[in-house]
Amino acid sequence: IIRIMNIKLILLLIFIPFFAISHEVNIEDKNVEEIVKKRMGNMSKIKAYSTKMHPLTMTGEFHEIKEINEKLLHVAKEFKDLFPEGSQGGKASELIWEDRVTFNLYHDNFIKSIEDIVVSIKDEDSVSLMENFNIMTSNCGTCHKKFKN
């Protein structure tokens, strides 16, 4: 009887970590799906806000541009955190995880250009607003060329 109990105990000790690991993988897979879905949603919002803002940059509607730009800045800042190690998937290139330094630099440039738009809005400077908007969209394109599948 003691021998059988020892065998059961050994088997239990062997299989408990397996069950814990297999459960953790399922949770991790679900989190990866949620992360990919969230970052794709954020990318769609970034595109929508930029598209909505573009014609306004030529009208001098600074109040409306400010509201959109604030939303854009919030979503863009959150975007960088949606690429944790192990969350590969969606339309994101593996290069994001392989060359994190460049990805972070491109993202920081993108954020800086949105923040420069804030300054243009505060100054009500239509010329710098259009310039900064064009820089921001250029930063989008640079990142997409390198990091989007």
68-100 pLDDT per residue, tens: 999 999 999 999 899 999 998 888 899 999 999
- Residue whose pair of structure tokens reads 């799906």 in the numeric block: 33
Phi/psi at 126 (5° precision): -65, -40
Per-residue pLDDT at 21 exceeds 90: no
Per-residue pLDDT at 24 exceeds 80: no
Confidence at residue 110, expressed as pLDDT on a 0 to 100 scale: 97
**Nearest Cα residue to 68 out of 58, 77, 57:** 57
26-46 pLDDT per residue, tens: 336 668 899 999 999 999 999
Per-residue pLDDT at 101 exceeds 80: yes
Count of beta carbons in the 10 Å neighbourhood of residue 64: 13
Identity of the amino acid at 137: T
**Nearest Cα residue to 119 out of 139, 102, 133:** 133
Predicted TM-score of the model (pTM) = 0.77
Token pair in block for residue 71: 């939303």
Confidence at residue 148, expressed as pLDDT on a 0 to 100 scale: 82
Please report, rounded to a whole number, the percentage of residues in the chain having pLDDT higher than 70: 79
More confident residue, 146 or 10: 146
Q: How far apart are CA 91 and CA 7, in angstroms?
A: 49
Name the maximum alpha-carbon separation found in the chain: 87
Please report, rounded to a whole number, the percentage of residues in the chain having pLDDT higher than 90: 68
DSSP H or E run through 34: helix 2-56
Per-residue pLDDT at 126 exceeds 80: yes
